């Protein structure tokens, strides 16, 4: 349970600091430090993020005028639908392929952020 708490705390700090946490922090940490399969790590992360993860951080951003409520609502509704269909696809995809897709996505995003202005 200590490892799970450390993963949650680390993801929370990075979520509040950089707006990342779930996929980029929690999923790899669950796979590498807790021995979870890719599917179990993704499902556990989604379950953890349902409500509590961003609530206090979002409230702080809102207080400073840094939340666009209409966009957040549209993104949230779309996220629910996308999450449903994404889970359907993920659960029929082999874990080793899923892991590779995840890694390529992270690398591509990292490269894009490094070279963009």
- pLDDT tens digits for range 13-65: 777 776 677 778 888 888 889 998 888 888 888 777 766 666 777 788 888 88
The whole-number pLDDT of residue 115 equals 92
What pLDDT is stored for residue 23 in this prediction? 78
55-93 residue pLDDT tens: 777 788 888 888 778 877 776 777 778 878 888 888 899
Which residues are CB-neighbours of 22 under 8 A, at least 6 positions away? 11, 15, 45, 46, 48, 49, 53
SS3 48: helix
Identify which of 52, 12, 8, 53 has the alpha carbon closest to the alpha carbon of residue 29.
8
Residue 1 has pLDDT above 80, yes or no: yes
CB 42 within 8 A of CB 56: no
The Cα 67–Cα 3 span in angstroms is 32
Cα 108 to Cα 73: distance, rounded to the nearest angstrom: 27
* CA pair distance 100, 104, nearest whole angstrom: 6
């Amino acid at each position: 349970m200590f490892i799970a708490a450390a993963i949650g705390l680390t993801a929370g700090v990075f979520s509040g600091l950089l707006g990342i946490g779930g996929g980029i922090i929690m999923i790899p940490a669950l796979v590498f430090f807790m021995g979870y399969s890719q599917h179990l790590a993704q499902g556990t992360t989604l379950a953890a993020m349902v409500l509590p993860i961003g609530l206090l951080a979002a409230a702080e951003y809102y207080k400073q005028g840094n939340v666009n409520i209409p966009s957040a609502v549209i993104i949230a509704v779309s996220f629910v639908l996308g999450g449903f269909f994404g889970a359907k696809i993920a659960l029929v995809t082999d874990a080793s392929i899923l892991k590779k897709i995840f890694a390529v996505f992270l690398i591509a995003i990292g490269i894009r952020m490094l070279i963009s202005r």
